[in-house]
Amino acid sequence: MAFDLTVKYAGEGGEGVISAGDFTMRAASNLGYEVVTFKSFPAEIKGGYALSQVRMSDEKILSQGDGFDILVAFNGEAYEVNKPLLSKGKVLIWDGPEGGDFEPDLEELEKMGVYTYAVPMSKLAKEDVGAYITKNVIAMAAVFELFGFPMEVLKQEIVKKFSKKGQDVVDLNFKAIEVAQNYIKENIKKIDPYKVPGPLPKKDVIIVEGNEAIALGAAVAGCKVFAAYPITPATTVGNYLSSLILKTGGFVYQSEDEISSMAAIIGASFAGVKAMTATSGPGISLMQELIGLASMTELPTVIVDVQRAGPSTGMPTKHEQADLFAAALGGHGDDQRIVIAPKNVEENFYLTIEAFNLAEKYQLPVLLLTDGSLSLRAEAIPTPDVKKIKENLIERPIVKKEDVKPEDLDHLFRYAITESGISPMFAPGVSPKPYTATGLEHAENSRPRTTPNERTVMMDKRFRKIAHVEEENPHLVEWDLGDLKEGEKADIAVVAWGLTASIAQEAVKRLREKGYKIAALYPKLLYPVPKNALEKLATMADKILVPEASYLGHFARFMKMFTNIPQEKIVQFNIYRGEPFIPKEIEEKILELLGEKVNA
Amino acid sequence: MEYIRLQEKLPPKEYRSDIEPTWCPGCGDFGVVTALTKAFSEERLDPTAITMTSGIGCSSRLPLWMNAFGIHTAHGRALPAAVGIRLAKPEVPTIVTAGDGDIFSIGMEHFPHTARKNFDITLVVMDNRMYALTKNQTSPTSRHGYKGSLNPYGNIEDPFNVIKFAIASGATFVAQSYSGNPKHLADTIQAAVEHKGFAFVNVLSPCPTFNKVDTFKYYKGRLIDINKELGHDPSDMKAALELASHVLDADYPELEDAEPFKGKRPIGIFYKVEKETFEERIAKLKEKYAPPSGEPDWDEILSQYKP
């Protein structure tokens, strides 16, 4: 059995719950373990319930998991919220027996088989360390001491993080560690079975959060203009990119609103450089008209939508995947866009690069759909081979003055009708023939036109570009068949995208271990809908479960709309509570569906 | 950040495309096209490097009539699209042509920000004091009492003083001209293109089809050159703001004799100041942070993310 441990810190926002999780995650990664985090906090700066969960394993981790093994409750609210999740074999570390604001029902917990440890974090921080701010360090040190993490690793992380702030800050944190260690040695007898087995061989990894991976991907892809307006949970893409992009000769521009961001990246793309914006639901709504302009003028642009729970302001820090309709079909008129979605942090990095490649290849706006949970999720991912990635980047083939003979100029058109629909690309200062990119319908030479024939020809040309995106990019559909061969009969099929795909993947893995035959497909390409792969999958099972964190279930409806899969095969499973799925509920849903089949 | 320029001057007509404007005969905006081609010629700009942007409206079609790169964007979005060009390629001269409705109504949010950041952009607004493409509605610059299709009883708003607003926003070049005075218009637009920084020229440009009030006939004999006739020094911001406060006096009969314009419409350069542009500030940052090779040390960057 693999080592698989999840520690959850829960308390009030601003108490250091989030950084406790970060430190623990870094320490675990330092020991050579795989790590995945899950964080959630309120939209307010201070106060409210916050949690930070770290899952670590000696095997590849697919999702945030079903819950926690060890709960560190900073206050009464954190305890109350998590009380229903405490069950046999779990550990509770709580702020007591004195100095805290609550007292758990220890007798009841003991009867349930929950291991409890009272660590007076508030009191120790206040009285023994002399600084309440070190409460989270006491909590972390308690976890390290109790479960066998080398304390040296925590100390290293503290030096890394705080040495800039001065030796006194480092010393204060070290004192908190010592206080916690002494308290535990003197007062607590370990009764639970959890223990970190010890360091593993070090892997060549980088630790990045979801939005950080997007920023890094954009910089590697050669993005030169990033224009954005602050919006939760997308803001941090720009934060991470702002200094980094300067090193590559680019610039992060804070515009006056999302409309301006989109207009600015259109201008930058027209001028010949790779450009991107990042926003969330409300920003996507505002950008729709201009995404249509990018589509009509065939300018490569990358738009990141870090989805949050909508509609309207909704729940800005909460999880949802309900922007797919808006991303794919949110504009007026028939426009051309590509929508892709990563399922984990590693894919955030690689699909950002992919988004630029697709935008350049097809000359259109590409939307990358991620979400708030993924934006905050940290993972240790294999260190990318930047040199190799750069060799495979698609660079814009801008027509240069020196490449065109004067006699050929008359036949050179920016919007030339071609078989693939893809036309020569021009840029000011480089190309020999000026043109005006217009949102008006236009002819090959970019002049406004409204005749029925010219309109039809031009519309067909633009749609030809996206007619074969799936066939031309088979890597944008991920098959997960286990031991099944393509086309072989499965008990059930599963389709999931975005963060939900990583969670479904874990559920599928568990069920396979129990002997079920499951055919799963995790499309990274959401629009144009990868019809062929989906229809092939549909031949393998009688039912296709499509779990989605939205009320309507946008992708399931796309499957009904854009494929020939019989409607009754598609089984929607929708949650819209502002939290991601957990693997267990997808697992149970699949079993429930299989049970129906057995009963029938 | 020098513009791409030609060695030799091109004749002004070389800056026109072969598309005939779709404007009504007698439209004031023709004068702006002529003035722009003259300015481009004088400045030795390269047609394959000039980039124009515009929004939506009669005047916003202008880039299509020019032999220059251009983006005919969505309604109101000419300025932020121009900003994108400035961020990407500062060596490409960037000219925005627009109407009063496009810039001062739907695109209003962009004006003060682009101005105060001092992007090196020339903005030429063709101000006909109403919406023409949608067949006569009041715009933010329409006179009080002007009859549009949505307010046939007359405009109950007062017009917006765009000159005063531009100076207050931090534009580093603010001028007004008139499309019926080709010489003044060409000189003013050339001065605006030459200016390093955000240059705004408001061109009084009559719409002969719908606006029966602000006509060529009306403007005849009612213009006053603030630089030549009143000796205004554009480097004097206080004087500029004072003059700008009276730009719309002539709209009101009770101010017919008021100083300093005495019922006339002022043209000329109100304000001009040299200030570091946004592009120059970005260049400084890049100089500081970007490696001379242009390619950063990715191993070093990635090492910062290692546990």
Residues of chain A neighbouring B77 (CB-CB closer than 8 A): 259-260, 263, 290, 293
Q: Which of A266-280, B199-213, B286-300 is predicted with the least confidence, judged by mean pLDDT?
A: B286-300
Strands (E), A95-194: 115-118
- The answer to whether B247 touches B278, Cβ cutoff 8 Å, is no
A428 with B69: Cβ contact below 8 A: yes
- What DSSP assignment string belongs to A572-592? EEE--SSS---HHHHHHHHHH
Any residues with CB less than 8 A from the CB of A582 and at least 6 apart, and which? A63, A64, A65, A66, A67, A503
pLDDT digits (tens, 9 = 90+) for A436-483: 999 999 999 999 999 999 999 999 999 999 999 999 999 999 999 999
DSSP state of A567: G
Mean pLDDT, range A83-111, rounded to an integer: 96
Residue B247 predicted with pLDDT over 50: yes
**The tokens 């078989």 sit on which residue?**
A419
Supply the pLDDT for residue B132: 96
Percentage of chain B modeled with pLDDT above 70: 100
My answer on whether A265 and A383 are in the same domain is: yes
| Cβ-defined contact of B92 to A401 (cutoff 8 Å) | no
Across the interface, of A246, A428, A448, the residue whose CB is closest to B89 is A428
Whether the CB of A200 is below 8 Å from some CB of chain B: the reply is: no
What's the CA gap between B19 and B68, in Å, rounded?
A: 12
A218 shares a domain with A162: no
First to last CA, chain B: 41
Q: Do A271 and B51 touch (CB under 8 A)?
A: yes
Q: Do residues B203 and B103 lie in contact, with contact meaning Cβ atoms separated by under 8 Å?
A: no
The reported pLDDT for the residue numbered A360 is: 98
pLDDT above 70 (res A598)? no
Maximum CA extent, chain A:
92
C-beta atoms of B64 and A426 within 8 A = no
pLDDT in tens, A492-506: 999 999 999 999 999
Whether A171 is covered by a domain: the verdict is: yes
CATH classification of the domain holding A291: 3.40.50.970
- Between A94-108, A233-247, A481-495, A586-600, the lowest mean confidence (pLDDT) is in A586-600
> pLDDT-derived band of residue A202, with 50, 70 and 90 as boundaries?
confident
A276 chain-B contacts, CB cut-off 8 A: none
Residue B88 and residue A437: Cβ atoms within 8 Å? no
Q: Which of B175, B185, B226, B199 is nearest to B39 (CA)?
A: B185
Do A140 and A50 reside in the same domain of the chain?
yes
CB contact under 8 A, B298 and A220: yes
We report the CATH number of the domain holding residue B265 as: 3.40.50.970
Q: Does residue A195 fall inside a structural domain?
A: no
Kindly state whether residue A194 falls inside one of the protein's structural domains.
no
pLDDT tens for B108-142 read: 999 999 999 999 999 999 999 999 999 999 999 99
Return the pLDDT at A600.
38
Average pLDDT over residues B138-149: 98
B73 CB within 8 Å of a chain A CB? yes
User: Do A27 and A116 reside in the same domain of the chain?
Assistant: yes
Q: Quick check: is B36 in a domain?
A: yes
A482 touches chain B (CB under 8 A): no
pLDDT at A45: 74
| pLDDT band at residue A267 under the 50/70/90 scheme | very high
Residue A436 sits in the same domain as residue A349: no
Q: Cα-flanking dihedrals φ and ψ of residue B202, to 5°?
A: -95, 115
Q: Which two tokens stand for residue B134?
A: 């949608």
By Cβ distance, the residue of A29, A207, A271 closest to B85 is A271
Size of interface A-B (CB pairs under 8 A): 184
Q: Which residues in chain A touch residue B73, judged by CB atoms under 8 angstroms apart?
A: 263, 266, 290, 293, 439
| Same domain for A514 and A378 | no
pLDDT exceeds cutoff 60 at A96: yes
- The rounded distance, in Å, linking the Cα atoms of A434 and A436 is 7
Strands A518-523 and A492-495: parallel
Per-residue model confidence (pLDDT) at position A599? 41
Quickly state the pLDDT bin for B144 (edges 50, 70, 90): very high
Let me know whether A174 and A292 are in one domain: no
Pair (A417, A508) in one structural domain: no
The answer to whether residue A155 sits within a structural domain is: yes
* Number of domains comprising chain A: 4
Q: Quickly state the pLDDT bin for A1 (edges 50, 70, 90).
A: low
Q: Same domain for A360 and A433?
A: no
pLDDT band, residue A567 (cuts 50/70/90): very high
Mean pLDDT (chain A, rounded): 96
Residues B47/B67, Cβ–Cβ less than 8 Å: yes
Q: Compare A198 and A180 and report the one with higher pLDDT.
A: A180
Residues A367, A402 share a domain: no
The answer to whether position A98 is within a domain reads yes
Torsion, Cα A73 A75 A77 A80, to 10 degrees, reads 50
Domain extent for A430: 397-467
β-sheet with B173-178: strand ranges across: A436-438, B69-72, B51-54, B94-99, B122-127, B199-204, B173-178, B265-272, B223-225
pLDDT the model gives residue A596: 52
Quote the domain boundaries for residue B237.
12-303
Beta-bridge mates of residue A73: A10, A94
Counted domains in chain B:
1
Residue A381 lies in a domain: yes
For the question of an ipTM over 0.90, the answer is: yes
Is A205 in Cβ contact with B307 (below 8 Å)? Answer: yes
User: Would the pLDDT of A547 be above 90?
Assistant: yes
Q: Is residue A199 assigned to a domain?
A: no
pLDDT (0 to 100) of residue A42: 79
Q: What is the pLDDT of residue A350?
A: 98
Q: Are A225 and A297 in a shared domain? A: yes
- Per-chain mean pLDDT for chain B: 97
Query: Which bin fits B154, alpha (ψ -120 to 50), beta or left (φ > 0)?
Result: left
Chain B contact present for A225, CB below 8 A: yes
Same domain, A312 and A362: yes
Region class of A24: left (phi > 0), else alpha (psi between -120 and 50), else beta? alpha
- A563 in contact with B, Cβ within 8 Å: no
What integer is the mean pLDDT of B4-9?
97
Q: Which residue has the higher pLDDT, A198 or B3?
A: B3
